[in-house]
Amino acid sequence: MNLAQGVFDHGPPAQVLAALTEVGAGTEHQYAPSAGHPVLRAALAGRYGPLDPDTEITVCAGATEAYYSTMAALIRPGDEVIVVEPAYEQYAPVITGFGGIVRPVRLTGPGDRLDAAALAAVTSPATRVIVVNSPWNPFGRCLDELEWQAVAELAETRGVVVVSDETYEHLVLDGRPHRGVLERVADPELRVKISSASKTLAVTGWRVGWALAGPGLTARIRAAHQFVTFCPAAPLQLAVARVLDSPDFDDLITSTVTGMAEQVTGFVHTLTGLGIPTRVPEAGFYVLADVGDDATAWCERMVLDHGVAGLPLSVFYSHPVPEAASMVRFALCKQPSTLAEASRRLQARLAPSRPA
């Protein structure tokens, strides 16, 4: 039972498959424009506007390539980049690959908050970028008003570009609308919003993502992007555009979020009943559990002896964090039958023994 990776073990919703079928027999089987198919860029502008689809939107091969191309546009050797940890494993290697220097800010639990003092402590004249993730993998929450205020102030006073990974933006489990970097940082040349269809539509293999930025910054991102992948698959771009433009898109998101919230709450209840402190996340489909033991050793035992894979929270930090040593992340973007079987195996292994 692979609860370690944020990979779905089922296909996308029927509406998404129908959109793919509708475009599959068409003639769009050659290269799309490198900046992204105009139909998809228009759909994204309609969802995120006001944005100019011709100058402010770049479609990439997933959020990961969008991030890579953005860093290529922003970083030169010796530049410093603030990364708020725990952080997705791709962030730091891309920065160092371009000769940048990572300056981490470490939060130890979902209850910790990012503030201006923590950012000031790692900011220098060489600071060019800050990378944030909201909604946040693995913490399962969004940056709050005060955290965004601190980030926006850094951008406005120091000219630091805010790169915000918002891949889970549509998966806020209480149904509240997501407010990210486009709403928080006023200058479009000091902000990049990165997102994708992967988690929203359960199509991680489609590799359709995007970077949204001001015209000057977008031109630089596109200059890098065209020499990385040139363009994602044209039929998949068109299928994503159909879903985004559909009048049923909001209902699709509501249904997805409702089902995800039920699965997450149920699994948290299972772990809590086993004496493992676990909190219901605010967003996304990851839960953090305190297993009360070294998380790496615990995960090894679980996967080898009981066939349930989780991921130690420690892998999201660049240096050991004692407060995270016993924390395990579970990815719950799975079929109900998968989670039921994982719960059964965990209960068989961890349930308190009953007196005879």
| CA atoms in the 13 A half-sphere facing the CB of 126 | 13
| Tens-place pLDDT, residues 6-63 | 999 999 999 999 999 999 877 788 999 999 999 999 999 999 989 999 999 999 999 9
Tokens at 202, concatenated: 């359960």
Average model confidence (pLDDT) across the chain:
96
- CB within 8 A of 168, min separation 6: which ones? 135, 136, 137, 199, 283, 284
Contacts of 42 (CB under 8 A, 6+ apart): 53, 241
Residue 261 · residue 173 · CB < 8 Å: yes
**DSSP per residue, 164-191:** EE-TTTT-BTT-PPP--HHHH---GGGE
Mode of pairing for the β-strands spanning 286-290 and 311-312: unpaired
Q: Which residues contact 335 (CB under 8 A, 6 or more apart)?
A: 9, 10
pLDDT tens figures, 168-194: 999 999 888 899 999 999 999 999 999
pLDDT at 352 (0 to 100): 63
CB burial of residue 177 (10 Å; 0-12, 13-18, 19+): exposed
The tens digit of pLDDT for each residue in 122-174 reads 999 999 999 999 999 999 999 999 999 999 999 999 999 999 999 999 999 98
Query: In 3-state terms, the chain is what percent helix, strand and coil (to 5)?
Result: 45, 15, 40
What does the pLDDT average to over 231-253?
A: 97
At 354, the pLDDT band (50, 70, 90 cuts) reads: very low
Residues ≥6 apart with Cβ < 8 Å to 175 = 254, 257
pLDDT in tens, 283-297: 999 999 999 999 999
The pLDDT score that the predictor gives to residue 350 is: 87
Question: What confidence score (pLDDT) does residue 140 get?
Answer: 96
Whether the ω angle into residue 13 lies within 30 degrees of 0, i.e. cis, is no
C-beta separation of 12 from 203 below 8 A: yes
Q: What are phi and psi of 129, to 5 degrees?
A: -145, 150
Place of tokens 């860029």: 41
> For the chain, how long is the longest CA-to-CA vector?
72
CA distance 10 to 327: 27
CATH number of 14-245: 3.40.640.10
* Eight-state DSSP code of residue 278: B
Q: Are 162 and 190 within 8 A, CB to CB?
A: yes
Mean pLDDT value across residues 307-330? 97
What CATH number was assigned to the domain covering residues 249-350?
A: 3.90.1150.10
How confident is the model over 67-119, as pLDDT tens digits? 999 999 999 999 999 999 999 999 999 999 999 999 999 999 999 999 999 99
Single-letter code of the amino acid located at 222? R
**Where do the domains of the chain lie?**
14-245, 249-350
| Residue 100, SS3 per DSSP | coil
What is the model's pLDDT at position 355? 40
CB 333 within 8 A of CB 256: no
Question: Can you tell me the mean pLDDT for 332-349?
Answer: 95
pTM of this structure: 0.96
